[in-house]
Amino acid sequence: MTVETPLLEVSNLSVRAGRDPEASLILNEISFCLEARRILGVIGGGGSGKTTLARAVVNWLAPPLRVSSGEVRFRGQDILRFAPEASRSLRGKAIGYIGGDPAGALDPTLTVGTQIVEKLRAVEPDVTRQEAKERVIELLAAVRIPTPSQRFNEYPFQYSGGMMQRAMIVDALISKPELLVADSITQPLDVTVGAQILRLLRDLTEQFGTAILFISASLPTVADVSDDILVLDGGQMVELRPTAELIRAPGHPYTKKLMDELPMLWSKDLGARLKPAPAIAEPILRVSNVGKTYSISPRSGIGRARRLQAVRNASFDVFAGENFGVVGESGCGKSSLMRLLTALERPDTGTITFEGKNIFDQGAAATKAFRRRMQLVLQDPYSSLPPQASVGDIIAEPLLIHGLGGRAARRAQAMEMLREVGLPAACFDELPMTLTAGQRQRVNVARAMILEPQLLIMDETLSALDQTEQGRLLDLFERLQAQHGFTYLFISHDIAMVRRVCARVAVMYLGEVVELAQNERLFFDPGHPYSRALLSAAPTLEERRYRSEDCLLEGEPPSPIDLPPGCAFASRCPHVYETCLKRNPALTDRGNADRAACHLLTQGSAQQKDHAQ
């Protein structure tokens, strides 16, 4: 056997932010090899330098970042020493790159097809336009984009996030690269779509023999696809080992910490955290048969307006003192539901009652009083705080709005809240600019609870935070609940978080509540195929109870505009049969107040078995 030079060989690579030898070190002495057909995963938290590494490998560091020492050898040649023109011909041709922002990766004013053709002809000028077009359409079909010849002529904004990421994979693979750098490619996608992209990526490496440098902040995702894993922490390479070995016995404390912070879906007993709903209690919030449809007028201004059914026939109760979760992926109607629950918009059908009163059948004063009893904490820690007001003023503002207390009293109360959410008193007169994302969310929580509400709606409140910070805030929520008796309604896409904190969960898909179940039941015996698909796609290192290959068909949710009749999940459901396409199943009782909407539940169990196979 001859000793071959590896495809990619990075040796002692250091990157600094500036020319100064004292400038801060972003990457410190990174070394690794990547052979053809292999997938090397790179894992690291925010600021670990993983994106810098990805960019250094394609020789595209933006100033002030620059390589201070080391080599990146591609097929034995050091690409860092290439002239810009030579490295450009390498980039995009022999080395493909896919980033984590598929929505912004292409010029919005040109069709997707045109731009991939443009790229192919830029790196391979000999290809004719017609040939290029044929190759692009062929590859669009290979990444399972439906009707590729039609999709070729569509604009980026007409693609969903998942479709766009597939198109970017085509863009990277069109020149048959030997190395593909994939930087956080599943991060902005819904878990079920991300799982499909990962599956696709694995198939393609088999097919094309491409080596992949797979970079992600999620250990389960990296472990899912990679042969080996490199762990980065603060620009240092702390570990590089085969995946199975690393997962079995993490060597470095940082790797151990990463693994410990991972949420567990099935292995840990979480019962203690979750209070069961009191059997006979009167619900604090009652949502019955709520529906909301938006009409979208056509672009030309003439013709029929189309109907977007954002929320369809949603019903559930939330009991005082419990944690209730609403989970679902983008476009499932979570945010529309939040707008209805907070009386920002009126539903077209159905009623919402809070503490026994219909929230829409009351005057302005009563609505204001209702809003005092029910507060909202939003997702984005940056845009949800006014940048020019001090933290103290922000927290005290709700008191001002509701006309409570004098100036001094408000100030004292705001200070008290600040302390309660665990922020230093010194923050009081600061602007939010100086705070971290986690601290900002604490300000948001303080602002919501200063009115002493009964119900707190957490709309993706933790989504923007990292694992560690999420854990701390969840502990805070728990403590505050014990002290003040809050009821929490968590709206989230993160099923692992829901597993940790919510006693009962409503699963939404395309505007409908498809399953309503207690925590344990949902995770161990889900009643709806979509819940199973969601569980199968959740990133976890545990032994999976559900495999995404069995639970989810290729494809994306249909558009909520002009929905076809029948079950909305039918197009992605592996158990689909005729009835599913004709009639939309109603929520069926599964005992213990757990309900799910699936035709299989109402069929005989024998038949269910038939269709399941």
The residues binding other proteins (CB under 8 A) are: 55, 58, 60, 62, 88-89, 91-93, 97, 99, 101, 104-110, 118-119, 122-123, 155, 157, 171-172, 175, 298-303
Question: Residue 50 or 91: which CB sits closer to other proteins?
Answer: 91
For 215, the enclosing helix (H) or strand (E) is: strand 211-216
Cβ pair 293, 309 in contact under 8 A = yes
Within 58-144, strands assigned E span 65-74, 77-78, 95-98
Question: Residue 78 or 118: which CB sits closer to other proteins?
Answer: 118
Least separation in angstroms between residue 468's CB and other proteins is 28
For 31, the enclosing helix (H) or strand (E) is: strand 25-34
Least separation in angstroms between residue 26's CB and other proteins is 18
Least separation in angstroms between residue 175's CB and other proteins is 8
Least separation in angstroms between residue 94's CB and other proteins is 10
Question: Residue 22 or 85: which CB sits closer to other proteins?
Answer: 85
Least separation in angstroms between residue 62's CB and other proteins is 7
Cβ pair 451, 375 in contact under 8 A = yes
Q: Which residue has the tokens 């994302």?
A: 437
For 384-422, give one letter per residue: b (16+ CB within 10 A) or e: bbeeeebbbbbbbbbbeeeebeeeeebbebbeebbebbb
Least separation in angstroms between residue 59's CB and other proteins is 10
Strand, coil or helix: 519: helix
In the chain, the amino acid numbered 300 is S
Question: Residue 91 or 572: which CB sits closer to other proteins?
Answer: 91
Q: Residue 587 gets which letter from DSSP?
A: P
Question: Residue 122 or 344: which CB sits closer to other proteins?
Answer: 122
The neighbour count for residue 272, using CB atoms within 10 Å, is 6
Question: Residue 5 or 153: which CB sits closer to other proteins?
Answer: 153
Question: Residue 86 or 401: which CB sits closer to other proteins?
Answer: 86
Least separation in angstroms between residue 180's CB and other proteins is 12
In the chain, the amino acid numbered 585 is P
Cβ pair 430, 413 in contact under 8 A = no
Question: Residue 18 or 565: which CB sits closer to other proteins?
Answer: 18
Question: Residue 114 or 518: which CB sits closer to other proteins?
Answer: 114
Least separation in angstroms between residue 334's CB and other proteins is 25
Least separation in angstroms between residue 155's CB and other proteins is 5
- Among the listed residues 217, 218, 214, 216, the one whose alpha carbon sits nearest the alpha carbon of residue 228: 214
Question: Residue 62 or 408: which CB sits closer to other proteins?
Answer: 62
Q: Which residues contact 339 (CB under 8 A, 6 or more apart)?
A: 345
Least separation in angstroms between residue 71's CB and other proteins is 20
Least separation in angstroms between residue 342's CB and other proteins is 29
In 3-state terms the chain splits into helix, strand, coil percentages (rounded to 5) of 40, 25, 40
Retrieve residue 455's tokens: 């119900």
Least separation in angstroms between residue 61's CB and other proteins is 11
The neighbour count for residue 43, using CB atoms within 10 Å, is 26
Burial level of 570, CB count in 10 A (0-12/13-18/19+)?
A: buried
Q: Which residues contact 191 (CB under 8 A, 6 or more apart)?
A: 329, 493, 495, 534, 537, 538, 539
Burial level of 461, CB count in 10 A (0-12/13-18/19+)?
A: buried
Give the CA radius of gyration of the chain.
Answer: 26
Question: Residue 122 or 561: which CB sits closer to other proteins?
Answer: 122
Distance CA 572, CA 19 (A): 53
Question: Residue 242 or 298: which CB sits closer to other proteins?
Answer: 298
Distance CA 75, CA 69 (A): 19
Retrieve residue 366's tokens: 């009563």
Least separation in angstroms between residue 188's CB and other proteins is 12
Retrieve residue 189's tokens: 């996608």
Cβ pair 499, 265 in contact under 8 A = yes
Question: Residue 125 or 406: which CB sits closer to other proteins?
Answer: 125
Distance CA 450, CA 411 (A): 11
